Amino acid sequence: MTLALGGTTYSWLHQAPFYDALRGLAATGFRQIEITTAAPHLQTSGFGAYERHALRRELAALGLTVTSVNPGFLDINLISPSNDFRRAGLDAVLGEIELAHDLEAPIVILIPGRRHALSPAPADACRWWLDQALRVLLDRAERLGVTIALETSPYGYLGDARQLSEVVDEIGAPNLGIAYDVANTINQEDPMDGVRTAGHRIRIAHMSDTWRGQWAHTSPGRGEVDFARYAEALRSIGFDGVTVFELIDLEPPLPRLHDDIAAFEKLGWSLERTGAVPWHPSGRR
């Protein structure tokens, strides 16, 4: 089974302007992209109706479809012990949901949060804060036809497939799923086990190469990720969404993206295949 391959504007962050990133993705052959809403590229605050209309026109002109929006989670922490920071994080993600709707992107990526390494807040408090945030976010996302995908992460809080699957099942919202990132879980679980554990809950996949002793998001072949095994795992669960190649290493993405894409194509990913559209409250896919 051929797997759909997408790209991300994150690859150009701090290296080139946002619209240059869009043009670079289109020129490389991508048709499905994830937009990273991080400064200095794009922030939901101050990005009004006119700017969104202009962006939709540019996307259409370039032949690009937005699969997902992802704030990058540098500052967002929905389980911070600080009421002010949790509220700011919640408002930021609500803005992501609004932007996803306006760009007709079906998915918002969400990392639950992170605990302080030296003085972590109690686990039951963290889960209560997360549940309260998800209640608000899922309600808004449902009304706008957006799916929230909880991403596996190396931060140490609900980072692996089993933990996120338990959250998804306990909440039971049809527009809540998982974003499985193989580079974020290489030190936590085998990708075959992780993908099969998350199973039908996976709405979108991320991939890049990394090392077990050094976290990275770099080109295939540089690190220790077994992409053939990852592809096998995704096929084994019948995954029909988009796999976003998250190249984030502060090296110029061009022209090596062409070689990276070719490596993934040998393993069965394709720029031409369109991933399935996730759940919509009207029943539309």
244 or 279, which is more confident = 244
The H or E element that residue 207 is part of is strand 202-207
CATH code of the domain made up of 3-270: 3.20.20.150
CA distances from 56 to 20, 96, 230, 233, 261 (A): 15, 16, 33, 34, 25
Q: Report d(CA 55, CA 50) in Å as an integer.
A: 9
Please give the mean pLDDT across all residues of the chain.
95
At 12, is the pLDDT very low, low, confident or very high (cuts 50, 70, 90)? very high
User: pLDDT (tens digit, 9 = 90+) per residue, 39-63?
Assistant: 999 988 889 999 999 999 999 999 9
pLDDT, tens digit (0-9, with 9 covering 90-100), for 187-230: 999 989 999 999 999 999 999 999 999 999 999 999 999 999 99
Average pLDDT for residues 177-193, to the nearest whole number? 95
Burial class of 83 by CB neighbour count within 10 A (0 to 12, 13 to 18, 19+): exposed
Q: Answer yes or no: is pLDDT of 285 > 50.
A: no
- The domain locations on the chain are 3-270
DSSP class of residue 277?
P
pLDDT for res 281: 63
Burial class (CB within 10 angstroms; exposed 0-12, middle 13-18, buried 19+) of 227: buried
